[in-house]
Amino acid sequence: MISRCVGPVLVAALLAALMGLFACGDGGGDSAFQTVRVKGFFGLKANIPSAVILIELTVTGDGFPSVVKILDMDDFDADEDVVFEVDVTPGTRLFTVVCRDNTAFGLYRGSKLVEIEPADTFSLDIDLEGWGAVAGHVAYPDGTALVDYDETAFEVDFSTNDFGDYQVEAALGNLSLRIQPSPTALAFTVAKIELAGQQIRTDLVLIDPQDTSHPWISSVVPQVALNPGDTIAFFGQGFARGSDLTVWFGEPGSGGAGESIDVVDNGTMNVTVPTLAPATASAWVCWATDTQCSNPFPYTLE
């Protein structure tokens, strides 16, 4: 007999749904065949972000066949509690929750590893974080694409397809992308994912880090929330006094060139944000032509 499960209902917070898991064992019998019933509470459907179409729970563990439960939001009324139940056997179990939109993208995700004992009663909260994606194209300065490439040495695993395109999914916040297919080819940028489901386009250009005549942007201060007319500082390499450089806000050659360039020292450059700069784009430092440019650095105007 399954004992009664009691616990508080957790509500949505900051658009990140919270899930309470409450489990009850049968209190006796052979533990090899005993199961623990887990109930998931998401609160009222009306309090779940409207972009969420499906909520998917996966439970995995050694010696345990994977269990997947999917809740379709169309099956619930606005004033109805979104709840599911699943039975699992004792042991180390990984609970993973994904809230998907109509494109199957996981807008909110979270997981927790739990050790479940026979006849156990426990409470488990899983905080779901908003997720987005950064995608683009990777190429050398001459336009040759970096194809079929995998990078696992840095903070984020990175791969390209046979066209040189990539996509990286990550939780909200700053995401540092760095790849180095050879000692003479390096690309680096920082993207900021601010909204669940946000898709950011960032093309990467592979620069030779050993060639100090070619600029490479490591950071921009302030990184985001810029104003036209503001003076911002670029940091990196190749910003040498006397360099013939152009800063673009938006695609090089698009008309959003920086109004002034002041090379402070070898590695720091001050730039005035132009009045016609796009509201959300990337800044580039180019030399010689508008096709020989640094890695792009994303920004957002206030």
Instruction: For the chain, give the longest Cα–Cα distance.
Output: 82
Banded model confidence at residue 82, pLDDT cuts 50, 70, 90: confident
pLDDT at 77 over 90: yes
Distance CA 3, CA 288 (A): 75
pLDDT at 30 over 70: no
pLDDT digit string, tens, across residues 169-221: 999 988 888 889 998 888 877 777 888 999 888 888 787 877 766 777 777 77
Distance CA 267, CA 236 (A): 5
Banded model confidence at residue 103, pLDDT cuts 50, 70, 90: very high
Q: Parallel, antiparallel, or unpaired for β 18-24 and 36-44? A: antiparallel
Q: What is the pLDDT of residue 237?
A: 75
Distance CA 95, CA 56 (A): 10
DSSP 94-163: EEEEEEE-TT--EEEEEEEEEEEPTT-EEEEEEEPEEEEEEEEEEE-TTS-B--S-EE-SSSS-EE--TT
Percent of the chain topping pLDDT 70: 81
Closest among 221, 228, 265 to 249, alpha carbons compared: 228
Closest among 228, 225, 213, 211 to 271, alpha carbons compared: 228
**What is the three-class DSSP state of 75?**
helix
Strand order in the sheet with 245-249: 245-249, 280-287, 297-300
Q: Please, where in the chain does CATH 2.60.40.10 lie?
A: 212-302
Pick the CATH number of 131-211 from 2.40.128.630, 2.60.40.1120, 3.40.50.300, 1.10.287.610: 2.60.40.1120
Cα-atom radius of gyration of the chain, to the nearest Å?
Answer: 25
Banded model confidence at residue 224, pLDDT cuts 50, 70, 90: low
CB atoms within 10 A of CB 242: 6
Query: 212-302 has which fold?
Result: Immunoglobulin-like (2.60.40)
Banded model confidence at residue 27, pLDDT cuts 50, 70, 90: very low
Query: 18-127 has which fold?
Result: Immunoglobulin-like (2.60.40)
Residue 131 in contact with residue 196, Cβ under 8 Å? yes
CA 139 to chain centroid: 22
Which of 13-22, 185-194, 241-250 comes out lowest in average pLDDT?
A: 13-22
pLDDT at 40 over 90: no
CA angle 55, 197, 195 (to 5 degrees): 115
Distance CA 223, CA 234 (A): 9
**What is the three-class DSSP state of 46?**
helix
Distance CA 33, CA 138 (A): 53
pLDDT digit string, tens, across residues 126-169: 888 899 999 988 988 778 999 999 988 788 889 999 999 999 99
Q: What is the pLDDT of residue 189?
A: 78
Which of 21-25, 248-252, 277-281, 292-296 comes out lowest in average pLDDT?
A: 21-25
Banded model confidence at residue 28, pLDDT cuts 50, 70, 90: very low
Q: What is the pLDDT of residue 223?
A: 59
Distance CA 204, CA 279 (A): 20
